[in-house]
Amino acid sequence: MDTQTTTKTKPIGLGLHDDFPAICIQDYETNKFVWFNVYEIFQNSNDLEEFQEHMTKARKSICIDEWFYSDCQYLHSIYSEHISDETLFEYMESLDDALADGHSVSLHEEFIGHFGDSYFNCLNDMYYGEFDTKEFSEDYIENTVDLDSIPDIIRSNIDYENVWYDLQHDYVEIEADRSTYIFRR
């Protein structure tokens, strides 16, 4: 008598990781839900097509027919109950670029939340630096104005907090990781 053993492989990205984007897939009918680390799925994909295959496998491991994304982590800037695999993939490409440039997951999320998904892969291009607004204003003035040509009495009375109000038309502050980051508009 022969016996057959079948092994069921787990889908890639199963589980929640505190430091990376995740999505919760839920079955409409049974309300069963499971978290998936979308960044791990992205890292195990060579292209959009393979990413879509992994996401389909993840969804099918939860339900057969109707599903929705009931919650997310580090994806609130693009979240919807039926977000497309393509949007998720593009977000992960943008995140991967931001991480490669030394930025954090939360800064990327706040950046996309502020500017929108049309700014995928633009974080580094628009990044000015990590400053509070007064420090940024002082740095900006020092780098753009010849302060040596201004009398000391005027230079010593520059209100850098007030300068920020004028710079807000061209720059924006984004809070992440308990720090303030400045970006060009």
Digit-coded pLDDT (tens) for 110-136: 999 999 999 999 999 999 999 999 999
Q: What is the pLDDT of residue 11?
A: 85
Contacts of 19 (CB under 8 A, 6+ apart): 105
In degrees and rounded to multiples of 5, residue 157 shows phi and psi of: -110, 15
The model's pTM is: 0.88
**Which whole-number Å values give the CA distances from 170 to 76, 85, 143, 162, 167, in the listed order?**
25, 33, 16, 15, 6
**What order do you get walking across the sheet with 171-176 strand by strand?**
127-130, 179-184, 171-176
What three-state secondary structure class fits 98? helix
Q: What is the pLDDT of residue 22?
A: 97
What does the block give as tokens for 109?
A: 């999320």
In degrees and rounded to multiples of 5, residue 7 shows phi and psi of: -110, 135
Greatest Cα pair distance in the chain:
99
Q: What is the pLDDT of residue 61?
A: 93
State which H helix or E strand residue 85 sits in: helix 85-100
The β-bridge partners of 173 are 182
Amino acid at 117: D
Q: What is the pLDDT of residue 64?
A: 82
Distance CA 97, CA 36 (A): 21
Half-sphere exposure of 174 (CA within 13 A, CB side): 24
Q: What is the pLDDT of residue 156?
A: 86
Distance CA 6, CA 27 (A): 25
Task: Give burial (CB, 10 Å; 0-12/13-18/19+) of 41.
Answer: buried
Q: What is the pLDDT of residue 46?
A: 96
Regions of the chain where pLDDT drops below 70 = 1-8
Q: What is the pLDDT of residue 6?
A: 52
